[in-house]
């Protein structure tokens, strides 16, 4: 009594817990993994990126303070014995084909790979898509606070240093803050580095969910390569990368708080209509696994009975 029945995969009925009270049930339904809708996701990503760019570029370009903060970051790195950006920048700049490749890497892969991972999740891991998307959205959102509260000039704009703006020197398209494009983007929003935040999200997602070993290895190499690129092109200090990692950690916490588990802990696929079980997504995933196990056991019993 007090139990609802739902059809299992083989058409049999299985008992499920009683529906929760209206308030808890509504919240659980919102948290429940569901199949994403392509039109909604495209619209959401487009509007979100437009809003992010609008807010980021609306932050006052506090040049004087941004340059002071850059000097402070540089002094901190020197005190740690880890002020290697200038050396890397000059060394890589001397190899034309390499630095030109890095310029294009910086300009394109930041978007291409991130969108590619979102599409991969949407197609092959729909049950984990929303939680993964929540991570990157929360990461990007909190980064806006960094841009507003801590204006920071990138190394290539510092005074009295020998950093090279590799985009200008090699006349490549690669930075919204160089050449004729500099008036379209806030040049003093270097902390935190979303190149690192997004690339690390991509890398960790691929490493956690991909089945092919080579894909998992590439997933880990991608954020490492991105770190080299942002330093070699003098677009960021390595401490900016640390800021990006902190923002990503915040994003994972937000997703975990909402869904009650990591994206990997959610079911890979989503049934068209899944009842809400008490305990939220994690309980639902466990119930589904139990149903699958029961189906397999039943099939095994039929096979033995037929012998």
The percent of residues above 70 in pLDDT, for the chain, comes to: 70
27 with 284: CB under 8 angstroms? no
147-181 pLDDT tens trace: 988 999 999 999 989 999 999 999 886 555 555 55
The pLDDT value recorded for residue 119 is: 94
Is residue 247 scored above 80 in pLDDT?
yes
**pLDDT tier for residue 306 given thresholds of 50, 70 and 90:** low
Question: If pLDDT is split at 50, 70 and 90, which confidence band does 199 have?
Answer: very high
- Residue of 37 and 31 predicted with greater confidence: 37
Residue 291's pLDDT is what? 55
Instruction: Judge whether residue 60 has pLDDT over 70.
Output: no
The answer to whether residue 265 scores a pLDDT higher than 90 is: yes
Report the chain's C-alpha Rg in angstroms. 24
* Per-residue pLDDT, 292: 56
pLDDT per position as a tens digit, 210-230: 999 999 999 999 999 999 999
pLDDT mean across residues, the chain: 81
Q: In angstroms, rounded to a whole number, what is the distance separating the alpha carbons of residues 34 and 18? A: 20
The token pair that represents 8 in the structure block: 């299992």
Identify the residue whose tokens are 């909190």: 142
- How far apart are alpha carbons 126 and 146 in whole angstroms? 31
Residues in CB range of 125: below 8 A, 6 or more apart: 132, 209, 263, 268
Instruction: Quickly count: other Cβ atoms within 10 Å of residue 206's Cβ.
Output: 22
What whole-number distance in Å separates Cα of residue 170 and Cα of residue 24? 58
Name the range with the highest mean pLDDT among 82-86, 267-271, 294-298. 82-86
């Amino acid at each position: 009594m007090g139990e609802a029945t739902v059809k299992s995969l083989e058409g049999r009925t299985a008992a499920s817990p009683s529906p929760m009270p209206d308030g808890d049930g509504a919240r659980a339904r919102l948290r429940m993994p569901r199949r994403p809708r392509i039109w909604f996701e495209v619209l959401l990503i487009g509007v979100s990126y437009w809003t992010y760019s609008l807010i980021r570029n609306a932050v006052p370009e506090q040049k004087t303070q941004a340059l002071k903060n850059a000097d402070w970051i540089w002094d901190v790195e020197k005190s740690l014995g880890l002020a290697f950006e200038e050396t890397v920048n000059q060394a890589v700049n001397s190899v034309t084909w390499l630095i030109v490749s890095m310029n294009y890497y910086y300009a394109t892969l930041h978007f291409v790979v991130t969108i590619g991972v979102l599409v991969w999740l949407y197609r092959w891991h729909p049950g984990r898509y929303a939680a993964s998307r929540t991570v990157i959205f929360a990461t990007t959102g909190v980064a806006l606070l960094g841009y507003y509260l801590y204006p920071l000039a990138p190394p290539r704009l510092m005074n009295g240093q020998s950093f090279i703006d590799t985009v200008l020197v090699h006349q490549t398209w690669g930075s919204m803050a160089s050449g004729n494009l500099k008036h379209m983007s806030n040049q003093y929003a270097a902390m935190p580095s979303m190149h690192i935040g997004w690339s690390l999200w991509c890398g960790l997602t691929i490493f956690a969910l991909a089945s092919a070993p080579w894909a998992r290895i590439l997933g880990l190499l991608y954020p490492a390569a991105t770190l080299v690129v942002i330093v070699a092109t003098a677009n960021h200090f390595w401490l900016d990368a640390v800021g990006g990692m902190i923002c990503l950690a915040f994003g994972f916490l937000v997703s975990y708080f909402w869904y009650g588990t990591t994206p990997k802990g959610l079911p890979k696929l989503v049934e068209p209509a899944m009842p809400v079980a008490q305990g939220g997504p994690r309980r639902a995933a466990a119930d589904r696994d139990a149903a699958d196990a029961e189906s397999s056991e039943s099939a095994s019993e039929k096979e033995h009975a037929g012998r």
